A = this chain, B = another copy of it.
Amino acid sequence: MSHRKIVLAARPRGMPRLSDFELVTSPLAPPGPGECLVRGIYLSLDPYMRGRMDDRKSYAESVRLGQVLVGQVAGRVVVSSHPSLQPGDPVVGDLGWQDQAVAPAESLTRVDPGRESLSTTLGILGMTGLTAYFGLLHVCQPQAGETVVISGAAGAVGSTVGQIARIMGCRVVGVTGSQAKARTLREQMGFDEAVVWGSQPEDPDRLASACPDGIDVYFDNLGGSVTDAVVALLNLKARVAVCGQSSQYNLDRPAQGPRWLRNLIIKRAKVQGFLVWDFVAEHAQALRQLQDWLGAGKLRNREHVVEGIENAPGAFIEMLEGRHLGKYLVKLSPE
């Protein structure tokens, strides 16, 4: 038996290139006691993966050269050597960029087909939705009527944050990279305003115009100049959740930017980094809430699907470039 996987061929310098990845076909040993063979159906692509390709210290181990890239996969059990899972069961697990994998049954989470589709368990009802939920609601505690700004607003997490903020009765302003995405955020995702951010000198003015009452909550996926502009507009007791810093991930060393800690004193504002794993004890409860909102039509799920494990590297680069809207998935095999 063999499987296909994408391994790290070279550590990217800056934006990854296709040559940093390699498609490898290799033999796959049958599952041992307690293990399952899983056929992958969807692979989740997420910005955090870029960090794992570097050799520097972070909250998790780097991927070694020649090793399969890390990532969450939703699929179906093909062979099981553990009584808790049966062939055909839908599961999610950290199986990496490969179309089939063998993993301990205990590392797999069974999906409830009555309530979740396989793709949503990787997105709005999975790590993506939970990241949005805890970063916004627990770190920032938004109140009705407050202005919430989101950078990387058209991404999987950002577009979910905006929708949850709307449910909370906030005024929601997204910052995104193109007019097309800004329009979609306004017209289809319920954002009150969407500001295009490039490198124009007038960008900060446009952000200020979109936030006439200042900014109470900022959910940062991006960092860099957007964040500088937001900090200048923070209100008293503002809360900032730092979820990602995508604008910095492709840099060899940290970029320079204006020092703005003084504004945190003036505004008595809080800036806090977080990971979805900090809230594991509350994941189940949050998932029920997200499911309810999705079922009631209060949350919309947007997916961008590319076919074939062999196309994962190109899709990943496209995701980093922010040319999509919503959750980025690679379809590995038919459902």
Listed in ascending order, the chain A residues whose CB lies under 8 Å from chain B are: 57-59, 220, 223-224, 227, 242-245, 248, 253-275, 278
Which chain B residues lie closer than 8 Å to A248 at the CB level?
Answer: 259, 261-262
Which chain B residues lie closer than 8 Å to A269 at the CB level?
Answer: 272-273
Give the CA-CA distance A293 to B11 in the complex, in Å: 56
A268 touches B273 (CB 8 A): yes
B261 touches A227 (CB 8 A): yes
B278 touches A268 (CB 8 A): yes
15 contacts between A and B (CB under 8 A): A59-B266, A220-B261, A242-B262, A242-B265, A248-B261, A253-B258, A254-B258, A254-B260, A261-B271, A264-B272, A265-B275, A268-B272, A268-B273, A269-B273, A270-B271
With beta carbons under 8 angstroms apart, the residue of B58, B259, B267, B275 that contacts A273 is B267
A272 touches B270 (CB 8 A): yes
Closest residue of chain B to A258 (Cβ to Cβ) is B254
Closest residue of chain B to A271 (Cβ to Cβ) is B271
Give the CA-CA distance A88 to B238 in the complex, in Å: 45
Closest residue of chain B to A58 (Cβ to Cβ) is B266
In the complex this chain forms, how many copies of it are found? 2
Other A-B pairs beyond A223-B261, A256-B256, 10, CB < 8 Å: A59-B265, A223-B259, A227-B261, A242-B261, A242-B265, A243-B265, A254-B258, A254-B262, A257-B257, A265-B274
Give the CA-CA distance A268 to B278 in the complex, in Å: 8
The 6 closest A-B pairs by CB, nearest first: A264-B273, A265-B273, A254-B258, A270-B272, A245-B262, A256-B256
Known: A268-B273, A273-B268, A274-B268. A259 touches B262 (CB 8 A): no
Which chain B residues lie closer than 8 Å to A262 at the CB level?
Answer: 223, 242, 245, 248, 254
A254 to chain B, nearest CB (A): 4
Give the CA-CA distance A227 to B261 in the complex, in Å: 10
Give the CA-CA distance A223 to B261 in the complex, in Å: 7
Give the CA-CA distance A272 to B236 in the complex, in Å: 12
A258 touches B256 (CB 8 A): yes
Which chain B residues lie closer than 8 Å to A227 at the CB level?
Answer: 261
Give the CA-CA distance A259 to B268 in the complex, in Å: 20
Q: A59, A242, A243, A263: which has the most chain B beta carbons within 10 Å?
A: A242
A172 to chain B, nearest CB (A): 22
A272 touches B271 (CB 8 A): yes
Which chain B residues lie closer than 8 Å to A245 at the CB level?
Answer: 259, 261-262, 265
Which chain B residues lie closer than 8 Å to A59 at the CB level?
Answer: 265-267
A141 to chain B, nearest CB (A): 13
Which chain B residues lie closer than 8 Å to A271 at the CB level?
Answer: 261, 264, 270-272
Give the CA-CA distance A58 to B42 in the complex, in Å: 51
Give the CA-CA distance A242 to B260 in the complex, in Å: 11
A242 touches B264 (CB 8 A): yes
Closest residue of chain B to A220 (Cβ to Cβ) is B261
Q: A57, A220, A258: which has the most chain B beta carbons within 10 Å?
A: A258
B258 touches A255 (CB 8 A): yes
Give the CA-CA distance A269 to B271 in the complex, in Å: 8
B265 touches A244 (CB 8 A): yes
